[in-house]
Amino acid sequence: MGIIGLVKGFFIAVFVLMLVSAVPIFIMSNSIKSTLLQTSFYQTQLESMNAYQKVQALLLDTASDAFPTDQLSTYGITKTELRTALAKQITEEWVKNESSRMLNSLLWYMTDQTKAVNLSISVRPKVSSALGSLVASKLGVAEPDAIALVDAGLGSSIPDPFDLSTLMPGIKDGLKQAKSYIAIFMQISGMLVIVIVVLLVMIFLFTLDVVKFSRTIGWPMLVTGVLLTITSFMLPNTVADMLKQAMPSGGGSTSLSAQTVIEFFHPLFSDILTQSIILVVVSVLLIAFSFVFPMVMKTSGNDSGKKK
């Protein structure tokens, strides 16, 4: 092998090393974009974990406790009656729709599709309507008059709309910083596609042979795909162990919390595993092509020679 061959081999090795480094990062970034940066991911996971039902129960308890018993007794209303009336207004479907709206607003802001995020929720009309129906039935007045009475009295203390940022004063600054990180992530992810294409082109230009090119990238990609498949398969347990160590010890609650987190991010792990398996399959096809193609060409050549 001459000096030119050594130089070509060196550059091919460098390009292949860069390729096997870029592909796993691309797969993980692609999985993040198709899961964590999609509203549908959160909708599906929250629904599977009965989160909407739990949030509904929390809102009903909070709204019911917001009115002292002595104030309710003035109208002959009990806490149980109030909660039942609220449940007809603050339904699980309403909670789901409001959550989806806020998730859309949040993700659009994070991915720079909007310049501001709306974290407000309008609960007062729901509470006023629930209280109004109770007051109307207790006092025997028209429901619109009862709702107006509630708005002027009991419901006046409820802010409308209620901005969630008031509960977490620093959340908007935190979201702004997170948005800048996501912008960098999206730029890097976009650049990875270009880098991978350029590396493949450079490797082909240095080999100038489809068979050698297929083997040159096929074997390293196969090893990368197998290692990434094993890693992604073990990732949930590894993350669970890390969470158990990071969370404060508290008997079985720590294990349950860690398991809940793993279940929530399960689609992300599954997507990485799926793409890793696809990488293995593509690599096997490339390697198979590098062996089958020369045989086919040789057979074709022999057949042509016999005909002559």
**Cα dihedral value 139, 142, 144, 145, nearest 10:** -60
- Do 57 and 10 lie in a common domain? no
**Domain stops at, among 140, 167, 194:** 167
Q: Where are the alpha helices (DSSP H) in the chain?
A: 3-34, 39-48, 51-65, 69-73, 79-89, 92-110, 124-139, 143-152, 171-207, 210-246, 252-264, 266-307
**Confidence check: pLDDT of 307 > 50:** yes
Tell me how far apart the alpha carbons of residues 212 and 5 are, in angstroms, rounded to a whole number.
14
Between 36 and 113, whose confidence is greater?
36
Whether the pLDDT of residue 185 is over 90: the answer is: yes
* pLDDT for the residue 299: 79
Within a domain: residue 229? yes
Asked if 148 and 228 sit in the same domain, the reply is: no
With the C-alpha atoms ordered 129, 133, 136, 138, is the resulting torsion angle positive or negative?
A: negative
128 in the same domain as 74: yes
- Same-domain status, 184 and 258: yes
Across the chain, mean pLDDT equals 86
Whether residue 103 sits in one domain with residue 152: yes
**Quick one: pLDDT band at residue 149, thresholds 50, 70, 90?**
confident
Same domain, 30 and 90: no
Task: Kindly tell me if the per-residue pLDDT of 155 is higher than 80.
Answer: no
* pLDDT score, position 29: 96
- Examine the fold and report which residue of 133, 167, 201 is the final residue of a domain before the chain moves on: 167
Find the range with the poorest average confidence among 51-55, 78-82, 259-263, 298-302.
298-302
Q: Which two tokens stand for residue 293?
A: 């193609």
245 CB-near residues (< 8 Å, 6+ apart):
none
> Is 114 within the bounds of a domain?
yes
Cβ atoms of residues 15 and 202 within 8 Å: yes
Verify that 143 and 102 share a domain, yes or no: yes
Burial 229-262 (b: 16+ CB within 10 A, else e): beebeebbeeeeeebeeeeeeeeeebeeebeeeb
Question: Which pLDDT score, from 0 to 100, does residue 306 have?
Answer: 59
Q: Are residues 30 and 54 in the same domain?
A: no
pLDDT band at 163 (very low <50, low <70, confident <90, very high): confident
Tell whether the model's pLDDT for residue 302 goes beyond 70.
no
Question: Over the stretch 204-259, which tens digit does the pLDDT of each residue have?
Answer: 999 989 999 999 999 999 999 999 999 998 888 888 888 777 766 554 444 457 78
The answer as to whether 305 is a domain residue is no
Instruction: Indicate if the pLDDT at residue 67 is higher than 90.
Output: no
| Torsion of Cα atoms, 13 then 14 then 20 then 25, to 10° | 180
Section 54-81 average pLDDT: 85
- For residue 308, is it within any domain? no
- pLDDT tens digits, one per residue of 75-87: 888 888 889 999 9
Q: Which pLDDT score is estimated for 92? A: 93
Provide the 3-class DSSP secondary structure of residue 141.
coil
In this prediction, residue 40 carries a pLDDT of 92
Q: For the residues 273-281, what does the mean pLDDT come to?
A: 96
Same domain? For 155 and 196 the reply is no
Judge if 210 and 286 occupy the same domain.
yes
pTM of the entire predicted model: 0.83
Confidence of residue 292 (pLDDT cuts 50, 70, 90): very high
pLDDT higher for 152 or 199? Answer: 199
Q: How many structural domains does the chain have?
A: 2
**What tokens were used for 144?**
């619109």
Q: In the chain, what percentage of residues exceed pLDDT 70?
A: 91
Q: What is the pLDDT of residue 303?
A: 60
Residue 42 falls within a domain, yes or no?
Answer: no
Per the structure, the complete domain to which residue 59 belongs is given by: 49-167
Q: What is the pLDDT of residue 255?
A: 46
Considering the domain architecture, whether residues 263 and 199 belong to the same structural domain is answered as yes
103 and 74 belong to one structural domain:
yes
